[in-house]
Each structure stands twice: as C-alpha cells, then as structure tokens.
Amino acid sequence: MRIQEKYKKEIIPELKKRLDIKNTLAIPRITKVVINVGVGKKEKDFISTVEANLARITGQKPVLTKAKKAISAFKTRQGMVIGVAVTLRGKRMYDFLEKLINISFPRVRDFRGISEKHLDNMGNLTVGFKENISFPEIRADEIENIHGLEISITTTAKSREAGLELFKLLGFPFIKKD
C-alpha cells in the first residue's frame, strides 16, 4: 500500500486514538523533506557531480546554497557555493519517503535502526547518510565520488512523542529500547 494512502486510511485513526485528538486536522502530518549535501570548499566538477546525484535521487533539480559571509577560518568567501539542497513536497515527498523506508534504509551497511535521538522537540526527524550509494538510482560502478547527505523530515507535530508515533506508524525503523 502506498504511504500516502496508508496515512489517510490507517494512520490518522490510529493517531487519533493514541494521542487522544478529536480534530482530524490537528493530527501530525509530514509537510516537507529537505535533502542537503554540504560540499564545503571543493572543485566545480565535484559540485556538479553532487548536483547530478541529488537530481537523480529526488527527481528534482537541486539548489546551490551559497555562503552568506566570508569566514577566514573556513577559507570561504561570500557567495561561494558550500552546499546543494532539494526540498520535496506533495507526491514527490511521499514517493521519496516510500523509497527511503523500503529500499534505502535496508541497503545501508551495518544498519540497525534509527535512534530516537534524531528527533527534535517539535517531532522533526533528521537522518544522515555517510554514503550516497544506498539509494537505488546511484550505481556503484558509475560513481566517481562517494559523499554523504542529510535528510530532514519536517512535521506539524507539537511534541517529540507525537512525531515519534507518526514516524513509527509510517514504518520508520527505530532502534528497540531494552
């Protein structure tokens, strides 16, 4: 079952029960997913490779993020490209989440689950990948540079517990506490 249909048919009634919420519109939902790669002070061909990889993974053209200030300790100048980011909403967001849960997490080397420490106090989840090859669009034989990426999933949850319940019902693999 698609993750969006599952949310509407199964997760909303379950969250109403578990969180004791009467209004359906007050139930936590996912608003956006941001995929970010920090490239630092690298050469242009590395940045273009990262940009192509993110476009392939998300199906959307990434935005180059630039330094707001010049910081001499980091050897950056104002306007220098220091990162690549993509924001997903709507259907693309749900398709990406489905791929993330069902394909990418199982392909991560030595993956035991997501720690609950990755949730912030407002119920948003941030997960980092050390290697981009866990995504099915990236083929290991074609890859020139392996880079990490960060995925931030933003919710409308008002508390950490509500966000955790939402992610558990969506099927995110959290580490079992003993």
Residue 139 pLDDT > 80:
no
**pTM for the full model?**
0.84
Give residue limits of the domains in the chain: 30-120+130-155
Computed over every residue of the chain, the mean pLDDT equals 84
Tell the CATH superfamily of the 30-120+130-155 domain: Ribosomal protein L5 (3.30.1440.10)
What's the rounded mean pLDDT across residues 88-109?
85
What's the rounded mean pLDDT across residues 78-97?
88
If one compares 14 and 74, the residue with the highest pLDDT of the two is 14
Residue 178 pLDDT > 50:
no
- 46-50, 66-70, 92-96, 141-145: the lowest-pLDDT one: 141-145
- Please state, in angstroms and rounded to a whole number, the distance separating the CA atoms of residues 82 and 68: 10
- Please state, in angstroms and rounded to a whole number, the distance separating the CA atoms of residues 35 and 88: 8
